Structure 1
C-alpha cells in the first residue's frame, strides 16, 4: 500500500522546496537549473510563459533579467506519495503587490536526487 505523507519524506521534500525558494530569491540560476529534471518531458507553465523541456526552461532563466520578483511564501503544502513522488503547492505574495500567487510543483526522486518534473505559477485576480 502506498504511504502518503511519510514524515521523513515530507522533511526531505520540504528541504528541497526551501532550497528552491532561496535560489529563486537569489536568482541562483545554477541551483534552479539543478533542481529541475533535465529531460524533454519537464514542463514549466509560468505567469507569462509556457516552457516544454528542460532546454526551454534553462533558456528562460538565463534570459530573465533580474530574476524573479521578490516574494514571501504565505502557505505551503507538501504531500508525498510513497518514497519517490511529491507535490509542493504554495501561495505567495510579491513585494509591494496585492495579488496572491500560486505555485505547484511535482517532484520526483531520481538517481541524482529530488528533481522538479512539472511546475505551474499563476497569479489570482487583483484583490485591491
Structure 2
C-alpha cells in the first residue's frame, strides 16, 4: 500500500462522523441505528466487556436484551486510521460515570459495495489503568 493511502483525510472524516453517530445511538439506546452500523452477516464479530457475539443474529439478540445505559460516557484519545479508500480502524478510550475502570473500544470499518460503511469487527474492554 502506498503511503498516501494511509490516513486519507476524506476517509478519516467519514469515519469520524460515523463514530460520533454510533456513540449517540449507543448512549440513546437506539437499537435500530446501532444494528444498522454493523455488517449484516454471520461473520460479524463483537467482543464486549463480559460477552461475545459471533454473527449479526447474536449481536441483535444481545442488543435487544441489553438495558439502556444508566451512565454517561466520555470519549478520550479517539484515533482513526484509514487504509485505502475502503477500510478504517477507530480506537478510543472512554470513561464511564459509573465505574473507576477505563474503557477501550476498537472498531474495524469496511466500505461494502452494497451497504456502505459497516463495522465488521468490534472489541470493548474495561480495565484498571492509570496513565
Question: Which interval holds the TM-score relative to the shorter structure?
Answer: over 0.9
Q: Deviations over 1:36-94 (max 9, x none)?
A: 00001100000010110000001100010224743110110000000000000000000
For the residues of structure 1 that align with 2:16 and 2:68, how far apart are their CA atoms? Answer: 26
Does the CA-based 8 Å contact 2:71-2:98 persist in structure 1? no
Q: 1:32 aligns with which of 31, 34, 37?
A: 34
Does the CA-based 8 Å contact 1:77-1:90 persist in structure 2? yes
What is the aligned partner in structure 2 of residue 116 from structure 1?
119
For the residues of structure 1 that align with 2:63 and 2:16, how far apart are their CA atoms? Answer: 23
**Cα deviation, residue 98, structure 1:** 1.8
Name segments (4+ residues, structure 1) moved above 6 Å: none
**SS of 2:100's equivalent?**
coil
What is the aligned partner in structure 2 of residue 58 from structure 1?
60
Structure 2 unaligned segments of length 5 or more: list them. Answer: none
Q: TM-score scaled by structure 2?
A: 0.91
**Cα deviation, residue 126, structure 1:** 6.1
What is the aligned partner in structure 1 of residue 99 from structure 2?
97
Structure 1 unaligned segments of length 5 or more: list them. Answer: none
Does the CA-based 8 Å contact 2:42-2:56 persist in structure 1? yes
Alpha-carbon RMSD across the aligned residues, in angstroms, is: 1.4
What is the aligned partner in structure 1 of residue 16 from structure 2?
14
How many residues are treated as equivalent by the alignment? 127
**Cα 1:43–1:71 shift into 2, 3 Å:** same
**Cα deviation, residue 124, structure 1:** 1.3
